[in-house]
C-alpha cells in the first residue's frame, strides 16, 4: 500500500491524480495567491519525485512539460508518487516577467539558505511575503520528496541542458563527516543527472555560487538544506516551448523515474535535441565579451564546439565596417550553450554563454564567514 503523501488539500490516493491549491500569500486587494498542486500516485509504494516549474514568469516550457507528462497513463504504470507544482510564481507567469510584480527580486533566490533565523531588526527590511511563503513550502516539500527536478528555460535558441549544483558543507562541524555526506549526495545527483540524459553543466565554483545566491534557488536549497538529490533542467527557449525539447524533457524525466525505481522497462532514448558529452567536466561562463560598443554578427550556434582562439563573431561598427581585425575570438575550449540576443552591444557585454572546462570540486566547504552572525 503506498504511503500517505499530502500537499495543500491534495492527499495521494493510489491509482489516481489529485488536484489542489496551496495558499501562498494574500494581496492587499483581497485575493489570495495560490500555487496549483498535482499529486499523482501509483498503486504500489515507492519514492516521491517532486517536479516544479514556472518560478520565472517568462519561462513556460517547464509548466507545459508537467501538464503533458502527468497523465492517467503514467499513473497506471507508476510506482510511488509524483508531486508537481507547475506555477511557482503565478504573478510572474501572468505578466510574462522573470520577477513577480509584487516582489522586485528574482524569486529563484528566495529559498532557505540554511542559516539560523535572525532576530527582527527594525533597520532592516523583513523577508517578503513570497520569501515567507517559499520557506513554508520548502518545509512541506522536504518532508515528502526523495528527489526533485526544477524546470526552467535558458535563452532563445539555447540547447537543452541540466545544471549541476555545487555541494557545500560545513567545515567547522565534523568536517570529514560533512564532506563525506556531501560527496555521497553529489554521487546520487550525478546518477540522477545521467539518467536524465541531457547535456550536464556545472554551476559556478563555490565562492561565486554563493555570491550569485544560487544556493537559494529551488534546486540549490533542496540539495544544500534539504539534502534531496536535485537538479535544474534548462529547456531552451521560453515563451514558445520547443516541441522537440519538451519530448526530450519528458523522456528524461521518465528515465529519472526508472533510475529511482518508479517505472519499469529500459531507458528511453533522448532524441531530437543536441547532446554534448565532452570528456571533461564543464561549467557555464558568460564569454567572450566585447571590448567596445559595436555590432556583433554571430558565427557560431548553440551546441557548437569551439577551441580557444577560434572566431565566434564578426565585430563591426554601426556602418558595417570591421572593428579592429573584425573578429571576436573564444578565450576557452568548450561549447556554446546559447547566444546573447540582438546584434548591438555595449562594452563589456557577453556575446555567448559557453560551457568551459571545470576543475573546481563539486563538494566544497562553505565560505569561512558564511554561518557567522551577520548582525
Three-class DSSP labels, 184-225 = HHHHHHHHHHHHHCCEEEECCCHHHHHHCCHHHCHHHHHHHC
How many CA atoms, within 13 angstroms, populate the side-chain half-sphere of residue 10?
25
Average pLDDT of every residue of the chain: 95
List, in sequence order, every residue forming a beta bridge with 315; answer none if it has no partner. Answer: 296
Cα separation, 338 vs 30, in Å, equals 42
Reply yes or no on whether the pLDDT at 226 is more than 90: yes
Judge whether residue 103 has pLDDT over 70.
Answer: yes
Collect all residues with Cβ–Cβ distance below 8 Å to 121 and sequence separation of at least 6: 375
Above pLDDT 70, what percent of the chain?
99
Q: Which residues pair with 345 in a beta bridge?
A: 294
215, 24, 223: which is closest to 130 by C-alpha? Answer: 24
CA distance 347 to 83: 45
Helix ranges restricted to H, the chain: 61-69, 72-76, 90-95, 129-144, 175-196, 206-211, 218-224, 243-259
pLDDT given for residue 12 in this prediction: 95
**Architecture of the domain spanning 6-275:** 3-Layer(aba) Sandwich (3.40)
Does the structure show a pLDDT above 90 at 315? yes
For position 374, what pLDDT does the model report? 54
| Closest by Cα among 142, 173, 209 to 358 | 209
**Segment 273-294, tens digit of pLDDT:** 999 999 999 999 999 999 999 9
User: Are 327 and 315 in contact, with CB atoms under 8 Å apart?
Assistant: yes
- pTM for this structure? 0.96
Burial 261-286 (b: 16+ CB within 10 A, else e): ebbeeeebebeebbebeeeeebbbbe
Torsion of CA 42, 149, 151, 210, to 10 degrees: 160
Say which residues have a Cβ less than 8 Å from residue 7's Cβ, sequence separation at least 6: 20, 22, 37, 39, 83, 140, 141, 144
Does residue 107 register a pLDDT over 90? yes
Calculate the alpha carbon distances from 51 to 26, 94, 111, 203, 329 in Å.
24, 20, 16, 20, 39
Distance separating alpha carbons of residues 263 and 261, to the nearest angstrom: 6
What pLDDT, on the 0 to 100 scale, is given for residue 173?
83
Q: How sure is the predictor about 119, in pLDDT bands with cuts at 50, 70 and 90?
A: confident
Residues 290, 351 contacting (CB under 8 angstroms): yes
Beta carbons of 39 and 83 less than 8 angstroms apart: yes
pLDDT higher than 70, residue 373 = no
Q: What is the end-to-end Cα distance of the chain in Å, rounded?
A: 50
Q: Which residues contact 306 (CB under 8 A, 6 or more apart)?
A: 300, 312, 330, 332, 333, 334, 335, 336, 354
Give strand ranges (E) for the chain: 6-7, 10-11, 16-26, 32-41, 44-53, 79-85, 147-152, 160-164, 167-169, 199-202, 230-235, 282-286, 294-298, 305-306, 311-316, 322-329, 334-339, 344-345, 352-357, 363-365
Q: Is the peptide bond before 249 cis (omega within 30 degrees of 0)?
A: no
What pLDDT was estimated at residue 375?
A: 46
- Angle 218-108-179 from CA coordinates, rounded to 5°: 45
pLDDT recorded at residue 354: 98
Domain ranges of the chain: 6-275, 282-357
The arithmetic mean of pLDDT across residues 57-82, rounded, is 97
Residues 53-68: tens digit of each pLDDT = 999 999 999 999 999 9
When mean pLDDT is compared across 76-85, 114-123, 284-293, the lowest value belongs to: 114-123
The answer, yes or no, to whether residue 372 has pLDDT greater than 90, is no
State which fold the 282-357 domain adopts.
OB fold (Dihydrolipoamide Acetyltransferase, E2P) (2.40.50)
Give the model confidence (pLDDT) of 122-176 as tens digits.
888 889 999 999 999 999 999 999 999 999 999 888 999 999 999 999 988 888 9
Amino acid at each position: 500500500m503506498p504511503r500517505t503523501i499530502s500537499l495543500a488539500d491534495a492527499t495521494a490516493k493510489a491509482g489516481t491524480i489529485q488536484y489542489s491549491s496551496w495558499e501562498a500569500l494574500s494581496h492587499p486587494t483581497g485575493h489570495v495567491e495560490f500555487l496549483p498542486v498535482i499529486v499523482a500516485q501509483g498503486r504500489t509504494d515507492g519514492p516521491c519525485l517532486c517536479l516544479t516549474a514556472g518560478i520565472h514568469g517568462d519561462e513556460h516550457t517547464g509548466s507545459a512539460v508537467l501538464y503533458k507528462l502527468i497523465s492517467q497513463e503514467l499513473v497506471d504504470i507508476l510506482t510511488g508518487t509524483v508531486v508537481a507544482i507547475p506555477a511557482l510564481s503565478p504573478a510572474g507567469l501572468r505578466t510574462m516577467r522573470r520577477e513577480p510584480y509584487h516582489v522586485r527580486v528574482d524569486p529563484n533566490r528566495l529559498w532557505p539558505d540554511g542559516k539560523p533565523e535572525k532576530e527582527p531588526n527594525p533597520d532592516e527590511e523583513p523577508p517578503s511575503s513570497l520569501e515567507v511563503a517559499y520557506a513554508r513550502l520548502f518545509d512541506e516539500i522536504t518532508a515528502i520528496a526523495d528527489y526533485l527536478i526544477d524546470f526552467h528555460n535558458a535563452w532563445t535558441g539555447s540547447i537543452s541542458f541540466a545544471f549541476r549544483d555545487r555541494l557545500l558543507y560545513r567545515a567547522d562541524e565534523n568536517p570529514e563527516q560533512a564532506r563525506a555526506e556531501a560527496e555521497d549526495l553529489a554521487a546520487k545527483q550525478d546518477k540522477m543527472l545521467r539518467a536524465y540524459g541531457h547535456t550536464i553543466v556545472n554551476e559556478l565554483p563555490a565562492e561565486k555560487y554563493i555570491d550569485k545566491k544560487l544556493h537559494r534557488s529551488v534546486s540549490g536549497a533542496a540539495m544544500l538544506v534539504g539534502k534531496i538529490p536535485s537538479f535544474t533542467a534548462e529547456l531552451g527557449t521560453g515563451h514558445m516551448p520547443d516541441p522537440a525539447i519538451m519530448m526530450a524533457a519528458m523522456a528524461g524525466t521518465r528515465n529519472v523515474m526508472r533510475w529511482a525505481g518508479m517505472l519499469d522497462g529500459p531507458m528511453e532514448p533522448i532524441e531530437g535535441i543536441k547532446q554534448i558529452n565532452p570528456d571533461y567536466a564543464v561549467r557555464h561562463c558568460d564569454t567572450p565579451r566585447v571590448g567596445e560598443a559595436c555590432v556583433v554578427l554571430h558565427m557560431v550556434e548553440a551546441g557548437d564546439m569551439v577551441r580557444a582562439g577560434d572566431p565566434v563573431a564578426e565585430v563591426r561598427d554601426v556602418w558595417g565596417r570591421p572593428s579592429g581585425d573584425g573578429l571576436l575570438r573564444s578565450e576557452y575550449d568548450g561549447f556554446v550553450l546559447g547566444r546573447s540576443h540582438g546584434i548591438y552591444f555595449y562594452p563589456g557585454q557577453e556575446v555567448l554563454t559557453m560551457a568551459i572546462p571545470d576543475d573546481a570540486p563539486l563538494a566544497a566547504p562553505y565560505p569561512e564567514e558564511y554561518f557567522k552572525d551577520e548582525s
